[in-house]
Amino acid sequence: MSSGHSGRNKIIKAAIAVLALSFAMTGCDSTEVTESVLEVETTANTEVIQSQHTTVVLETVSTEITPTNTPTPTATPVPTLTPEERVVTVSFAGDCTLTQDYRSSNRQFDSVVNGDMEYCFKNCAEMFKEDDMTLVNLENPVTDRTSHKNNQYIFQMKPENLEMLTLAGIEAVNIANNHINDFWEDGLKDTRNNLDEKGIVWSDDHYAATYTTQKGIVIGMVGLGNDTNASQVHGLIDDLRDDGAVIIIASCHFGQEGVYEPTDRQKKVAHDLIDYGVDIVVGTHPHRLQPIEKYNGHYIFYSLSNFCFGGNYSLSDPDSVIIQCDFIMDADGKNCVDYRLRVFPYSQTSTRPGNDFCPKPYEWESEEYFRVMKRLEWAQGDE
């Protein structure tokens, strides 16, 4: 697996091996088929080796007429994925704030978690580890700084606590959100660096990112904040294509808090992204579930609500969801040709009332299960 960021020094570098030609002259024309090897170095020091056959015809001049046989050029083999390899499964969950308010004397999140890095995601870690990639919205800076803004809520996650993500199989995060700058620009820089050090792929509206699955499929990601227009990330999307991304995901932290329907602006941004070639749009920020829409053959999740939100001790609406999307690739893995969804209704807490910061699935066909499906305007029969 490998990852990289478009627009800075993490762009994939390609090095082409020297093509060696060797032949012997025996008084008549001779032709040899040699093989060139292309080595591509990724940012994770993972080598992908591809071979292509090159036919080189060497011409000589002879005073005698000598019959020669020109070999048929060897066709370049086209890789064919097995039916299983053609399915790329990505899991999506909503807002994750893995800490409490920085200024609060009530350290309830820290007290409940009590240093257990596997606690918060223990009910879904197996699912996340078995997929090809998991993406959430990380709504807190990761820094040790003390200088911060004076907003209503200020969040800070300690760098060592990023193990909560890595141990749960969460490989990628969106950081284009309204809390990522709580500790100013320096806190944002720390966040990016700390995520890099832990090997967690991040994206926002300034830097896109790629993640290469174990199957060799390159997934591209870009993030948008509430004030970001689709046109502002067109260049990043173009960079992702240049970097070999064959699946492109847009994470949008947009909309109005506390409402169950997307705004007109949410719809415009999401539609514009799909029209520009994004495969799927994933929304967060409203802290409520909002409907799934299928637009021009592509899915839009307007809001996945909170998933594990340490900043809220009392949940007026605990409903959440994990959505898995199967991206169906063509035989050579270069184009996504179809999509399948699986929806898993979740509660943000294992106990009620209150919040224990440990999401768990709702029971199959329970009242809560159907409530989530209704809010998403989704039925399992839809797929």
SS3 95: strand
Q: What is the pLDDT averaged over residues 252-268?
A: 98
Q: What is the rounded average pLDDT of the residues 215-229?
A: 97
Distance of CA 67 to the CA centre of its chain: 59
Q: What's the confidence (pLDDT) of residue 152?
A: 93
Taking only the tens place, the pLDDT of each residue in 156-171 is 999 999 999 999 999 9
> What's the pLDDT band for 75 if we cut at 50, 70, 90?
low
Query: What confidence score (pLDDT) does residue 157 get?
Result: 98
> For residue 96, which of 181, 177, 210, 167 has the smallest C-alpha distance?
177
Alpha helices in the chain (DSSP H): 108-113, 125-130, 163-166, 184-198, 234-242, 264-275, 367-376
**Where exactly does CATH 3.60.21.10 map onto the chain?**
87-377
- Give the pLDDT of residue 380: 72
Give the mean pLDDT of the chain: 85
* pLDDT-derived band at 73, boundaries 50, 70, 90: low
Is 80 exceeded by the pLDDT of residue 29? no
Q: Binning pLDDT at 50, 70 and 90, where does residue 79 land?
A: low
The pLDDT of 176-188, averaged and rounded, is 97
Q: Whole-angstrom Cα distance, residue 233 to residue 146?
A: 32
Dihedral of alpha carbons 122, 127, 131, 134, sign: negative
Longest dimension (CA), the chain: 98
Q: What is the pLDDT of residues 355-368, one digit of tens each?
A: 999 999 999 999 99
Q: For residue 37, how far is the Cα from the chain centroid? A: 30
With cut-offs at 50, 70 and 90, classify the pLDDT of residue 81.
confident
Compute the distance between CA of residue 169 and CA of residue 26 in angstroms, rounded to an integer: 62
Predicted local confidence at residue 74, as pLDDT = 57
Annotation: CATH topology of 87-377: Purple Acid Phosphatase; chain A, domain 2 (3.60.21)
Does 43 or 249 have the greater pLDDT score? 249
